Amino acid sequence: MPELRKDPISGRWVIISVERGKRPTDFKIRVPVKKGGFCAFCNGNEHTTPPEILAVRHVLSDPDTPGWSVRVVPNKFPALNIESQLNKVNEGIFEKMDGVGAHEVIIESPEHNFTLSTMPLKSVEDTLSVFYKRISELKKDNRFKYVLVFKNEGDDAGATLEHTHSQLIALPIVPKLVDEEINNSRQYYKKNEKCIFCDIIRQETADRTRVISENENFISLAPYAPRSPFETWILPKNHESRFSPDGKFPLLAQILQKTLKQIDKVLTLPPYNMMIHISPFEEELNKYYHWHIEIKPKLTKVAGFEWGSSFYINPTPPEEAARFMRETEI
């Protein structure tokens, strides 16, 4: 019997195939093949990208030259334009505004063939620090209400360049999905005087079936109502509404890289998307929302049913996914 499960944070329902759940080997995953050729993100080609915004680099090296380990550049084909004001306009019944925003690329390593799961742990930590630093900078621009940091790994997950990188988009609007999560979390807090994420972590830690791994500060788990197979969340164990280092990025880098290694091993290098969910700038310090990382391997297709309902059909129960992840040797 399939199950209908509700994600209490977003309010969305998913259909979970409980009985004949799909195992990792049931998914057709195309082994990624690096095409090679000229790459603007590689060491030595720094002059072919727009000028860098930020880099972790050797003290004696100059901007836009080799000597860096993580580098942030503007997206050459930005979805939004930084040089603009909001200019809200009504077109009759409709509303629009200029597409103001920042769109940046975080090149996580000068090495073409590294990924977040194979690069030195220090580079993962530096990447997280760079995320934090760019979010902090963009927050000062009062046109922006939110920054979404995300990563598309692999062609099928939407990556257009194969060199390992993340992206961020600063937005003049709090995205609908974030707004819904914030509202539901706020309501839960009003009713229970507790953060819903803290309560989930408490329940999952006691129950264990969906916990994948943990360290002193962080926990990785398969959420109760995941949209897709092997969806995995990483959360700080204690309440934190704001994504910030506070000395914890080494442990975050450790659990993030471990989780990605587990995903790579269990699913044989699947394409995936990774998103960092943070609180909107205007309510960055709050008691109800808990920042977290969501990782979604791209194993299923969004089709008519999903587009017409925002229901998702997930053929792998999260309890099974968590077990595969826990039991894999990395």
Chain positions 20 to 79 lying near a second copy, rule: CB under 8 A, are 78-79
Among 281, 273, 282, 278, residue whose Cα is nearest residue 292: 278
Q: Supply 288's token pair.
A: 């109800």
Chain positions 82 to 101 lying near a second copy, rule: CB under 8 A, are 84, 91-100
Q: What is the CA radius of gyration of the chain?
A: 20
Nearer Cβ to a second copy (33/59) = 33
Nearer Cβ to a second copy (68/100) = 100
Chain positions 261 to 290 lying near a second copy, rule: CB under 8 A, are 273-277
Asked if residue 169 binds a second copy (CB under 8 A), the reply is yes
Nearer Cβ to a second copy (3/62) = 3
- Exposed, middle or buried: residue 80 (CB in 10 Å: 0-12, 13-18, 19+)? middle
Give the relative orientation of helices 318-327 and 249-267 as an angle to the nearest 10 degrees: 100
Give the relative orientation of helices 196-207 and 176-192 as an angle to the nearest 10 degrees: 80
Tell me which of 26, 61, 208, 302 binds a second copy, using CB under 8 A.
302
CB of residue 60 vs a second copy: minimum separation in angstroms?
35
Asked if residue 128 binds a second copy (CB under 8 A), the reply is no
Which residue has 């090149």 as its token pair?
A: 107
Tell me which of 144, 224, 230, 233 binds a second copy, using CB under 8 A.
224
Binding mask 307-326 for a second copy (x = CB under 8 A): xxxxx-x-------------
Asked if residue 15 binds a second copy (CB under 8 A), the reply is yes
Q: Supply 125's token pair.
A: 């930590």
- Residue 274 to residues 28, 203, 292, Cα–Cα distance (Å): 20, 24, 11
Asked if residue 12 binds a second copy (CB under 8 A), the reply is yes
With contacts defined by CB under 8 A, how many residues of the chain interact with a second copy?
71
State how far the Cα of 323 lies from the Cα of 319, in Å rounded to an integer.
6
Asked if residue 132 binds a second copy (CB under 8 A), the reply is no
Nearer Cβ to a second copy (199/214) = 199
What residues are annotated to the active site? Answer: 165
Phi, psi at 23, each rounded to 5°: -90, 165
Chain positions 192 to 221 lying near a second copy, rule: CB under 8 A, are 196, 199-200, 203, 207
